[in-house]
Structure 1
Amino acid sequence: MRGALRRLFGGRARRRWVHLILGGALAMPYVLVGSVIVGPLTGVDDVFGSLPLQLASFALGLPLAAVTSLFPLTRPLESAAVRALCGVDGDDALAHGPARTRAERARTALWFTLHLGFGGIVAGMSLAVPPFAVVLMVLPLFAGLRHSPLDLPDVLDHGWTSALSPLAGLAVLLALAGCAAGCGALLARWAPALLGPTPQDRLAAAEARAADLAVRNRLARELHDSVGHALSAVTLQASAARRLLGTDPEFVREALAAIEETTRRTVGELDAVLGVLRDGDAPGTAPAPTLATDLDGLLRRTRAAGQPVSATVGTDPAALPPLVSREAYRIVQEGLSNALKHAGTPVAVRIAADDGHLEITVENALGTARSPRPGGGHGLRGVADRVRLLGGTARAGPSADTWCLSVRLPLTAPATTAEASARPLPRGTA
């Protein structure tokens, strides 16, 4: 019983009732235009004095409403009203913009006609039924109402109707509420189909979200690899310089010089990445580092932090494709950064070209692990993304008494139109 009353008189039902009454208010100008047509055709001066002529005016006005619904703002306004009053969940269930195609305009016209049609009926009933129901409920108290000029049904002239008329009045009100709730529920059910985006709109929105996510993922990777590595290196360089400040001034000078070079270079990379985020601004001019342009500098700055690094390069970095060289640089950088943060043991870097592939190995002994940084753990995920987008393979994990990051990249990278979703790099092949 309580659930039935909530469906008839609850907050959602009341809001949908208001939505229907608004439809009835919007229908009034079209009904007036219809009455101008019906009056001369029937020869009746007072069209609104006859219920059949009122209905005829209403029926003539609805096609006019369908035509005027082609106005571009109709669909956005109706969608906003449905969101606010009909309880349609989901921001993407209804379209935000005007109808563009013929099918969208036809669905909008059908919705507008239904809204005004149901709204006109419910609004008319809402005006006429409550006074009639009140008269029925008070009829036993005011017997003179039977002979008043209210045009009451003849059955009410019988005395036995006095006991039943209050129940009849209550039933009439419940019928009105049920009619309003039913019409409101139907409109709420039909709204997504008639005012919602088309499959093409949903596909375009999904592609836009995928493109935005691709940019965000790439920016996150670039910031993590460039800024994260630089901060790790600077922290360790400063720590080593502090420990040897009084015993090895030459090492301290080299560490401070490395800190200066690292921060200056990272500021340029950060400006390049943030330039993409500035709406209306051109991207930064600092080029992305590659193996050809900064492998030696990367190794030098890592060694300046006190990390022993040996490197074997079996190919000419300048001969590598720019995209492969750039991504390979970030992979080597991440491998060195992980060794700096977690191991603190000598690192061996090997880069070679074999059978149309670039092979990268970053290996270090499993020393005493440093304390992990809170919130870390995204570096290998970024490596997995880079390798997957280039069509390569990667392995990361312990091997005997060493930790090894092994990557194999094709020298002819496949074209890609969208970023893959981020997922952690497994201990097997990525």
Structure 2
Amino acid sequence: MGRAARWRDVALAAALCALGELELFGHEKYNAKPVWPGPVWINAVLIVALTIPFAWRRRRPLPAVLTIFAVMTASTLILGGSEAATIFIVLVAAAFSGAAFSRHLVIVIVAALIASLAHGVNDPSSEGLADLTWTYGLIALAVLIGRAVWVRQHRIGSLEDDVASAEERHARELAAATAAERAAIARELHDIVSHAVSVIVIQAQVGSRALPADHEIAAESLNAIETSARTAMTELRHLLTLLSSEDEPATVTPMASLGQVDELLDQCRAAGMTVDADIDQMLAPLPPVADLAAYRLIQEALTNTMRHAPGATAHIRIRRHDDTVEVLAQDNGGGIRAGANLPAGSGRGLIGMRERLALAGGHLVEATHSATGFRVHALIPAAERQQPAPERAL
């Protein structure tokens, strides 16, 4: 319960108390009789006892409402029925509060009926059944409105719980998807690094065997390079096995790159997809991570088109702008009507794109999926990211 609601309850209790005291000390009368029968000081205390429980009608609804009805019944039996407007407002407000904030609706209704019956029987100004009918009608209306509020509040609470559960579940799925993508990227990084290290090993072997026999120092140096490179590869495999969620054997195979895009497009066309390609022929060699990220982005975009928009026409554009490579992949939606239900995806594709691009120093400019088609636009640095030069040991 919010602080504002608590203060509203306190304000309601204070307002009803002030109204009752005003009627009492203002000597209000009904049919020439005081609306508050009995001694003034007793009624002053009685008004406080009748209204103060409204201050905790949300925190302790059943005790608060039963206290009000009990005080009202006791005062009516001892002092007689009161014709004060405060009494009727308190009766209706208590019935509403009990129905709106308490689970024990039957107890609230029974207590309200008892209090109203005691008041009607002991009120000398009561006109019998007509007044009771009127009173019970007000109570019934207050209970119905209060119960409607109770149902609405619990429905909102249930929806909020559902939303919280859905957000928590989505967060877990996102974390799992991110972990899986990072594991896949780790395996692909293994291909990149191990390929480079393998080349170093081969070069070291060739150099060691090509040198004349009298160049012992050079030969030892080359042997040291070979040994260090082999050790690095072994440690790298162990490290990536720990990072990966799957115990897959590491293999040294050529990695995917933009040089294989034509093969990828031919495979899509063979599967029945219409693909238009606009690829800059002056891309020049890219850093391995950037090359792989660009290829995987195009691959994911084409896969998304085949899966979610069969029959769509895809367009691929790869352009070199100074030190940046622009990659654009989009389709026309395959003629899906506006408002049609689009197949729901897991979202892992976009997660993978962002992870790969971030690893290469690039970013997604746009990634949208609608009835008009799928569109992804990315920028990737075409040069190696500069690393700080190591300091020479003094």
> Smaller-chain TM-score range?
0.3 to 0.5
The two structures have a TM-score, normalised by structure 1, of: 0.31
Higher relative contact order (CA 8 A, sep 6+): 1
